[in-house]
Structure 1
Amino acid sequence: MTTIENDLRDAIRTIPDYPKPGIMFRDITTLLGNARAFRRTVDELVQPWAGSKVDKVAGIEARGFILGGAVAHQVSAGFVPIRKKGKLPHTTVRVAYSLEYGIDEMEMHEDAVTKGERVVLVDDLIATGGTAEGAVKLLKQMGADIVAACFIVDLPELGGAEKIRKLGVPVRTLVSFDGH
């Protein structure tokens, strides 16, 4: 395990049995509240693209907004919010995606990305990959060139990162935790 992974792991609070028994919730609010850890996280997420052209950073509601805005600033790119259905005020495009117990929809403004724009997708955690898969499909539907999908936390046993790689999108994660 690398020093960065140890440092970030130490900055993330684990809450047992939330939101239901057997789940170990990985709470990044403690990382966000630690200036050094937050800065280091953003630096590490963008490191592979420092100096290369990224047009937009897309963040998945809600913690992906916090990280995505900081990453967009760092790479001098625009920011695109990907939200749950009904939350955006202008004309939108949407996609259905799988949740653990059903289906939901996410959307973005139809003019948020244009064909061929280089986009980095950002969220706090990848578990089963349903939400990230939906976001990838939505961005591809609009013609975006998805450079990568970036997450602080990976729960590899749940297979989400591999699901996104199978869609042809490189995945960058900073910390892995066993279990759910």
Structure 2
Amino acid sequence: MSQSSAPAGPDVYVACLGKHGERYVPFLHNEHAQAVASQWGADHPDKPAHVEKWDRPQWEHEGPGGIRAIRDRIPDRRLVHHAHAVFLPGGERLNIGRDEQWSVAAWEFETDLYTDLPVRWNTVRRPGQEVEAQVRGTDQGAVTAAFGEACAQAVDRARNPGRYGDLDAC
């Protein structure tokens, strides 16, 4: 994230993204806030987006992240590829009712979706004893290849919880 190091003007332009103030992204320049709100609206037609002008002291006291959160550039936005599968304790794949692979455009402030890595993956045991395989990255081919590895590990983890330190969860 680029934080402001430029001399501050009296105003902060805040892109308000999503319902009920889901995300506030502050900018030094109105055109940056407008561009982000416009693209957000195109990416998320079901989530409203608009720009508000706040005075700097108001943002410093009420805005999430305070003065350090104010950006002097448009945040990075990338296409991030995802893959996900869930396995039952014996290793059988659970039908989760959605596609196993999908892609979304994500902004760097959407830390739950964004990554700048070609691929990263993990497996995790859920409280109900299912094991999830999760993969995401900017390289679709790498995500597809890693998904096979992640699923194989998830099946092994579902069948052999002690090997992964999951016995306490059983």
Q: Which TM-score bucket, shorter chain as reference? A: under 0.3
Report the TM-score when normalising by structure 2: 0.23
The structure whose Rg is larger is 2
Report the TM-score when normalising by structure 1: 0.22
